[in-house]
Structure 1
């Protein structure tokens, strides 16, 4: 079998031509949506400096808010899951169980699974935090958070969702959930973070994904032990036991006094309920 011809440069077709109108549309797009210009190639030095400043603002806001959160668990999942559905209620119950273990529950702060996780923690009397992001659709702050941080960039938001957590619960979701799960797994693989537990819930939904994870191990594209980083279950009590064994005991977590906010710095703590 001969390999297909692969030209060094694809043939340019009339519909691919760049004219002045297309350039003007791109410039208008960047002016209307300045946050997207970060991914639009080189900008002016002042614009790039502005980008660095906005990234720093994102991180400083989040650091100031979550410094007082205590040990946390992050729940990932779809913004589109409706209240009363199987996975919404599963996430709600897991949020409550995490709070009972003494964890602060962190989510992306929006509706769906995120709301369910925050709601479970909130109703159980635990701390509940949302790391929100501005989007043209789907994303709005849910009413079950004690503290919300609005982020400008997805990558700064993902960093914060990982930074403060000792475990990660992944519920059914879309491309964003996959991105969050596999980035977390990669950070553990490469030892950028410690071997925190990843709990994948929703077996009917995720089974094809787990089959593919094991396929990757068989093909040698990940290590043979990497699939074991994921604990796959729909059983709430199994998940709680896994958290106790691989987060609470493994990292010797125990109740302790949290850092106290300093009024002179404009800091605010996250009050415990109950």
Structure 2
């Protein structure tokens, strides 16, 4: 069929190429997985600072306890330990507006502002206020703002900002996201810190990651954590205990 193309990769009898690079000779043993992932989604290898930030994003969201994704994976593994891939899939299928999908939601919010054309602090503040006002007027929750546990500040956010400043990768989207958080918090009655999902979304926008794959980056990151939970489930299972706990604490109340 004429006209179908791909730049990702191809294989011959003698070599494998990915985005123009010889996989075995130029990439294996030379680039880390984060840089390889960046190459796949952007078509180029990252610079040093970009690689540091991209890898930091992947590390930031890999795991933070018995989250819904970890619970879904463990319980699925309890029922089908012979199909670990099914348990991994169960763990990441719930990526959405509450968990893991914040990357994408934040990116769409920021890029919809046309932030790339803003060159001064006054314009950044104006756009941040417009975003907050529009979301509140529509009764919608601002993506990337607030955290149920880290009410006084997400430690991952602080570290990502520190790294971005250190490596000169603070761009217009990070600046806008920081301004959105300040604008939202200034008129709120409860603490509204910038959470890791929001910061990661802004970082990835400044790194040039396309909006359509932002959630995919979060999913790849969390998949590593899910596999870790499954490795632990295999050697020290808690799935059946979680199932029993649910049966013990959830009261059955018939509708009639």
Interval of TM-score (by shorter of Structure 1 and Structure 2): under 0.3
TM-score by length of 1: 0.23
More helix by share: 2
